[in-house]
Structure 1
C-alpha cells in the first residue's frame, strides 16, 4: 500500500505526556506503537476504521506506564515486536539492530538506539527504499532527548554517552524523515515544555540544542543538567513490563465500602485517597487522607506518593467516575484498589466519624506566612516569589520536619499544594494554609515581582 498522512493516528495521553501511535496498514490491520494499558483511545480510533491490531511494537521497557502490548496480543492476536535485548518473559518477536518486519507493503526496520534504556529500539517505517518516518520512543524527542538515569546513578553517564551516539545515528536519516517520539511535553522522561509532539530529522538538526553541542562530553553535560526528579514508581515499572502485565479479562471495579469498612481498612494499614477538587478537600476530609484531585496528572502523583503495596480506598464527589480512577491506577500498575467510600463525606460524618479541614486562602490573606513552593525545579526557576522556601512535592514527605512554622503552601494553581498540605497534616502539622492560586497571584496581591533562577531558600 502507499502511505498517506491520515494512515498514522497519534494517541496522546496528556496526563503522562506521551504519545502512542496507531498505523492503519490499509487491509483491516493495524500496527500499534508504544500503546499503554489504557486502550480506550486506541480502541476508539481502530473502531472508526474497522481495524484489528496485528502488530504491537514497544520501543523500550517503559518506566512511566504499563505496556498494552500483552493485552493487544490477548485480545487481537497481535504479534508483539520488541528488543531481543529486553529479555521479555512473554511471547514476542525479538528484534535486533536492522531486523525488518514486513507489514504487508510497508516495512518496519529496528534500529538500536540505547540511552533512555539499554535495550531501546527505534522503528524506521519504510515504503520501499523511502524512509517515511521513525518511531523514536525515548531516544530523539522534540528539541531534546529522553533521560538516561532510570537504571540508576551508576549507569547514568554511560547511558548518556550511548544516547549521544544514538541521536547522531538518527540524525543521519534524510531531513524529510518524520520523527514520531513517544515522550512529549509533560512527560517526566525529560521532554521540554512545548506544544509540538512530532517533528522531522531536519527540524531537529536545526532546533534541537542537544544536536548542536560540539562533542560527546558537552552532550553529556547538557543532558544531565536538564534532568529533574521523576516519580518513584518509575523504578518499579520497567521490570513489570519485562515480565508482562497480566491481561485484563474484564474492567476492574471499585467496590462500594461503608464508612466503618473504610475506618477498619485505614486502621489496618490501608490508605485513603481523596480525589475531589482541592476546595472540597479543604472544606472537610477524612483525617489522614491524601488529597490527589482526579485530573490528567492523577496517575503521576498516585505513583509518586503512595506505595503499590498498600490497599487504597477513595473518597469521591458525587459527579466523579470511579472507572476513571481504576483506569488511571491500573495503567501504572496500581491494582490494590480496595474500594470507594459509599456516600462520600456525608456518609462518613453520618457514621459519627470526625473530619479535618485545611485553610484554603486567597493571596491577599496569605501575608505574614512563609511561602512554601512545592513545584518542580524547572517551574520554580522560571519564576518564583522572592524569599520562598522550595521543596518539591515529590520529596516533601521526607522533608516534612524541615518545613517552617505556619507556611502557606503553593504550586501553580492549588492542586499540588493541597496534596502537599495533606502530606504535612498526616505528619502531624496543624498550622498549614494552602494558596488558592499561584506565584503570580501572590506577587500581584503583595506588590512584588517574581524572580527567576534556581536555588530557592531551603530550611
Structure 2
C-alpha cells in the first residue's frame, strides 16, 4: 500500500489527500487553494506534485489544482463532463491514468454533482482504495441539492446508484472521502475521516437502505441549510482560479472610515470577549477559529470590500488564506494597530454585554442549526439559524434580548448583525444550553 496522507481541514470538515508514489512524485486529491499544508508535506518528503485530481466541481472551497498546474507543472485530472476552462486531462468513466507503477481509474459516481467522479487507486489489477469525494462518505452520502433545487431528488437517485456501484468493490478497499464531520455537505458527526467498503456496508445507514425510495427519503431528510457561497464556487472552479499570496494591507483609521462610508464591511475576527469589550459600531463579529471560513462565507458580503480588525496575536496570513480558499480573494486590508488605533483616533466604539448562564432573563434567541436546537433548548426560546438571520432580523423583537448558541462565538456574530440592524439591548450568553441547565437547574425542551 502506498503512503496516503490525509490532510484535514477541520473548519470546512474536508480532507485532501497526498499519495507518495514512491519515485519522488506525488498525487494530490481535492486540494484547496490554500496549498500551504500540501507544500509543507511535499517538501518534507522531497516530493514533486505530479498529479492533482478533483473529484467534482467543489462548492465549499476553491480548488488548488489550477494553481499547481500553473506553478508546478502539475497534470490536472478531472471529469470531462465538468467542462473546465483550463488545461486538464478530461476523464470519463473507466478511464485509467498511469501514475508510474500505480494506476488511477475514473468511476462515474454522479449525485453530489452531475459530473462527479470517484478515483480508484490500483496496484496492477488490485484495488487499494477509492477517493470517493462527495459520493460515499463515512456514515452517509453527500447532499444532492447544490446543483439545482428542482433536481435534488433526481440526483439523490443517481447518488443511490453511485453508492451501490462503490459497494461492489472488495470489502478491504479503503474509502477516502473528501467531505467529513463538520462539512455542510451533509456529513454526520463523528471522528472517523476514512473507512473501508466493508465497514460502510455494515454501518452506513444509506448503504443499508431497503431500496432506492427508502434511500432517497433518508438522504433528503438529512439535508440542512448551507452557506450561500456554495452557489458561487462551483462556477469559479469550472473557470479555474489562480492566486498569489493573499494578504491584509494596513489601513489607517481614516482610510477605514472612508471605506466604510463607501459601503465596505468591517469583519472583526477577535475573540468574543475582546469584541464585547469594544468594537467599531456596525462591525461583524466572526472570531478566528477553525470554523472561521465557513461563517465568513455565510455572513459576509462577497460583492463589497471587506476590512479586517484583528488582535495583535492573530496571524494575518491565516486570516487571508482562510478567506481566499472560499473565494474572498481581494480583502481591502486591515485596521493597522487594531482597536487601539481606532480609540486613539477618538472614534466611536460600541460594546456588547456578555452574561453568564445564571443571568439569563427575558426573551432568548437561539441561533444554532436546527438539529442542535431540536436536541435541547431553553424553554420558550425563539429559533432562527444564524445563516438565516440577516434576512429575518425583522422577526426579532426590539426589546432586551439574550442571544445564544453552543459556546458564544456564533451568538456574538448574531448580536453584531442585530446591532447593525438597530437593536440596542442585546446580550450574549457565554456558554450554551447545558451550561444554563447546570447553573439554574432548569430543564431543556427538545424538538422543534
Q: Please report the TM-score for the alignment, with normalisation by the length of structure 2.
A: 0.98
Match of 1:185 in 2: 181
Match of 1:380 among 366, 373, 382: 373
Q: Deviations over 1:206-248 (max 9, x none)?
A: 0000011111111111001001000110000000000000242
What is the CA–CA distance in structure 2 between the aligned matches of 1:152 and 1:307, rounded to whole Å?
Answer: 22
Contact 1:308–1:336 under 8 Å retained in 2: no
The correspondence for 1:389, drawn from 382, 386, 401, is 382
Matching residue of 1:400:
393
Give the counterpart of 1:255 among 249, 260, 267. 249
Q: Find the counterpart in structure 1 of residue 327 from structure 2.
A: 333
Shift of 1:62: 0.2
Structure 2 Cα separation of the partners of residues 247 and 261 of structure 1? 25
The equivalent of 1:441 in structure 2 is: 435
Partner of 2:272: 278
Which residue number corresponds to residue 65 of structure 2? Answer: 69
Find the aligned partners of 2:246 and 2:220 in 1 and give their Cα distance: 40
Equivalent positions of 1:1-400 (< 5 A) are 3-4=1-2, 7-248=3-244, 251-366=245-360, 368-400=361-393
SS of alignment partner, residue 206 of structure 2: helix
C-alpha separation in 1, matches of 2:341 and 2:243: 35
CA contact (8 A) 1:237 1:332 kept: yes
2:192 and 2:379 map into 1 onto residues whose CA distance is 32
SS of residue in 1 equivalent to 2:8: strand
CA RMSD of aligned residues (A): 0.9
How many correspondences in the alignment?
447
The alpha carbon displacement at 1:431 in A equals 1.4
**3-state DSSP of counterpart to 2:332:** strand
- The separation in 2 between residues aligned to 1:406 and 1:70, in whole angstroms, is 51
- 1:396-423 Cα deviation digits (max 9, x unpaired): 1111111133221000100000000000
Q: Secondary structure at the match of 1:209?
A: coil
For residues 141-187 of structure 1, give each alpha carbon's deviation from its aligned partner in whole angstroms, at most 9, with x where no partner exists.
00000000001211111100100100000001111110000000000
Query: In 1, distance between residues paired with 2:264 and 2:119?
Result: 43
Given that 1:138 and 1:182 are in contact with CA atoms closer than 8 Å, whether structure 2 keeps it comes out as yes
3-state secondary structure, aligned to 2:57: coil
The separation in 2 between residues aligned to 1:202 and 1:68, in whole angstroms, is 32
Which deviates more, 263-272 or 377-386? Answer: 377-386
Confirm or deny: 8 A CA contact 1:310 1:336 kept in the other structure. no
CA distance in 2, matches of 1:240, 1:340: 26
Q: Give the drift of 1:372.
A: 1.1
Q: How far apart are residue 252 of structure 1 and its match? A: 2.4
Q: Verify the 8 A CA contact 1:309 1:336 in the aligned structure 2.
A: no
3-state SS of the aligned residue for 1:318? coil
Measure the CA separation in 2 of the matches of 1:253 and 1:133.
Answer: 38
Shift of residue 91, structure 1, vs aligned partner: 0.2
SS of the counterpart of 1:110? strand
Per the normalisation by structure 1, the TM-score is 0.96
The alpha carbon displacement at 1:319 in A equals 0.8
Runs of 5+ consecutive residues of structure 2 not aligned to the other structure: none
Cα distance in structure 2, aligned partners of 1:122 and 1:156: 20
Aligned partners of 1:230, 1:425: CA distance in 2, in Å? 24
